[in-house]
């Protein structure tokens, strides 16, 4: 399943000076791993965002977001952000920051 290389490149630019981020193909797309945990990624032209369970419902109220569901069951704590939700670099950085903030609360793998 192909993923939007343009979005992947935008994410790479955000993480360019980081040595704690790894790329891994998963979920039929590309994931960016922080401390061994999926932080964010790309499926098709959609941003995968790991926001955590505590703020999951609140984040789903943002425009252009929806449950991450590719198996018939939503993955709680993860959501999809459609391209309109991260058109600007500032919007994309804001989503990445939310993801990073959550993932840094998890124990390192």
Q: Per-residue pLDDT for 1 more than 70?
A: no
Q: What is residue 71's predicted lDDT score, i.e. its pLDDT?
A: 79
Is pTM beyond 0.85 here? yes
Give me the number of domains the chain comprises: 1
Residue 61 structural domain: 5-103
With residue 96 as reference, give the H or E element that holds it.
helix 89-103
Over range 5-31, report the average pLDDT.
94
Which CATH number is 70's domain given? 3.90.1150.30
- Pick the most confident of 28-32, 46-50, 67-71: 46-50
Task: Evaluate whether residue 84 is within a structural domain.
Answer: yes
Residue 108 lies in a domain: no
Residue 109 located in a structural domain: no
Q: Is residue 37 part of a domain?
A: yes
Domain assignment present for residue 81? The answer is yes
Angle between helices 89-103 and 5-14 (to 10 degrees): 60
CA dist., res. 102 & res. 109, Å (int):
15
Q: What is the pLDDT of residues 55-105, one digit of tens each?
A: 999 999 999 999 998 778 888 999 999 999 999 999 999 999 999 999 999
């Amino acid at each position: 399943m192909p993923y939007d290389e343009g979005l992947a490149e935008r994410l790479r630019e955000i993480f360019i000076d980081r040595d704690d981020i790894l790329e891994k193909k998963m979920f039929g797309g590309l994931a960016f791993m922080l401390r061994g945990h999926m932080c964010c990624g790309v499926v098709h032209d959609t941003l995968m965002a790991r926001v955590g369970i505590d703020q999951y419902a609140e984040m789903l109220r943002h425009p252009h977001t929806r449950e991450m569901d590719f198996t018939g069951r939503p993955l709680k704590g993860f959501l999809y952000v459609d391209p309109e939700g991260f058109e600007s670099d500032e919007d994309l950085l804001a989503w990445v920051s939310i993801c990073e903030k959550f993932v840094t609360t998890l124990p390192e793998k």
